[in-house]
Structure 1
Amino acid sequence: MSQQTKTDYIDDVSIDNSLDSLPSDDEITATVDALTEHGFVVEVVDSTDEALALLTDAIPAGASVMNGHSTTLEEIGFMEYAAEGDHEWETLSDEIWSIDDDEAREDARRESQTADYFLGSVNAISQTGELVAADASGSRIGAYPFAAKNLFLVSGVNKIVSDLQAALDRVENVAYPLENERAQEAYGVESIIAKQLIYRFEGTEGRTTVVLINESLGY
């Protein structure tokens, strides 16, 4: 199946557009300041190309690399680069999906949460410095709190909202409708907000980097 982006679903569902708009420069600055105060490293870039270059430059040769499903990572070209690009990483996702045995593949997915570098995204970012992400199985967000040695969370600035309550609302009224549409097309089943993470603070210096892209990306 080809990779799907936000534009494949945006016309098929109803979302709260007030929670998916581009913020002002002042709102971006306030968000960066709050995230930094909460222990996150923050990088702001102007384009998907810059975001991809930042990620590929940051991952050293020989590192084990895993990612959770992320429309944003697809949109910036990271998924294609990880699968086909000129790099010397150990791409765990390729190894995992080549395993025929269901139980062995599930075990490998769990082990991959401790990758040297884990990449993903979030569904909302508050100007008060919280990150919010939801998942049906937990495989996407399981590595975020602790397991991965280094974590990169990549997001369009359209996910920035005023506060934590607005971030939770964005999960329900923007991310879920779009993900539900994708899940039905990709897997033939509806999605569910089964497991939700509120990431308030990172205590390990340099572990978690938030890459903010000055575009509307992902959901």
Structure 2
Amino acid sequence: MSQQKSDYVDETDVDESLDELASEESIDETVENLEENGFDVIVVDSADDALTELQSLISAGASVMNGHSTTLEDIGFVEYLSEGDHEWESLPDEIWSIDDDAQRQAARRESQTADYFLGGINGISRTGELVAADRSGSRIGAYPFAAGNVVIVSGVNKIVPTLDDALDRLETVAYPLENERAKEAYGVESAIAKQLILRQELEDERTTVVLIRERLGY
């Protein structure tokens, strides 16, 4: 479980109007539009249910990589990938066991083509678009094409009315919180250096969005 978020989340100034739990009507509209845009969608009630879905969704023997996501930490997936009883190839464990910086960076790039790449998202519009950003791009690099399968896990607090609202949420909710986390974890500020908008998924059954009826991540 993530411990760092609780240290700063209550003290960080964010636009709370863009971090509210979505209504059932909003969730239903979002699911319908995401599916029309080619994304598969699974809606669950709790973090525990989300972890169970991920355990059943990922094929045995698959290579699995995750980008940093407080949501994946909060539902227990990061710990499960490293220490759980599964038959997957855990690429993060392999990568962070490499001592040589250049070799580790090369392995990180190669991991973008994992069989399954999991991560979070910073904003979801009810009209069916997804918005994400990174400082380095390591979290979002796999989303558009490289990974065989993409699984995006999100609390319904990231659902907002429009694409413009999702972009605003990135700036006024996700970035301030990620910046505080980065300073605490790494001693450096974050940046919205690499930004991605997913409007459609054209490959059948490639990208799955798991929505959790809880306030999770940012």
TM over 0.5, shorter chain? yes
Are 1:21 and 2:20 an aligned pair? Answer: yes
Number of aligned residues? 218
The one-letter code sitting in structure 2 at the alignment partner of 1:164 is L
Amino acid at match of 1:109: R
Alpha-carbon deviation of 1:57?
1.0
Q: Percent identity?
A: 70
> What secondary structure, in the 3-state scheme, does the structure 2 residue paired with 1:73 have?
helix
SS at match of 2:203: coil
Secondary structure of residue in 1 paired with 2:10: coil
The reply on whether 1:82 has 2:81 as its aligned counterpart is yes
Whole-angstrom CA distance in 2 between matches of 1:145 and 1:187: 27
Q: How does 1:29-44 map to 2 (within 5 A)?
A: 29-44=28-43
- The Cα of 1:23 is off from its aligned counterpart by 1.2
Structure 2 contact 5–181 (Cα < 8 Å) conserved: no
CA distance in 2, matches of 1:5, 1:81: 18
Q: Which residue of the partner structure matches residue 192 of structure 1?
A: 191
Q: CA deviation at 1:10?
A: 1.2
* Letter paired with 1:12: E
Give the superposition deviation at 1:24. 1.0
Work out whether residues 4 and 71 of structure 1, in 8 Å CA contact, stay in contact via their aligned partners in 2: no
Write the letter of the residue equivalent to 1:32.
Answer: V
SS of the equivalent of 1:182 reads helix
Gaps of 5+ in 2: none
* TM-score of the superposed pair, with normalisation by structure 2: 0.98
- 1:116-175 Cα shifts (integer Å, max 9, x gaps): 000001000000000000100000000000000011000000000000000000000000
Contact kept? 1:6, 1:217, Cα under 8 Å: no
**2-side partners of 1:8 and 1:129: how far apart?**
32
Q: Give runs of aligned pairs for residues 59-208 of structure 1, distance below 5 A.
A: 59-208=58-207
CA distance in 2: counterparts of 1:165 and 1:207, whole angstroms: 25
Aligned-partner Cα distance in 2 for 1:137–1:4? 23
Q: Distance in 2 between matches of 1:185 and 1:7?
A: 12
The alpha-carbon distance between structure 1 residues 25 and 179, as it changes in their structure 2 partners (threshold 3 A), is same
Deviation at 1:39, TM superposition (A): 0.1
In 1, the alpha carbon distance for the partners of 2:83 and 2:178 equals: 26
The one-character-per-residue Cα deviations of 1:64-99 (angstroms, maximum 9, x if unpaired) are 000000000000000111111001110000000000
* 1:5, distance to aligned residue in structure 2 (A): 5.2
> Cα 1:5–1:218, aligned 2, differ >3 Å: closer, same or farther?
farther
State TM-score, norm by structure 1.
0.98
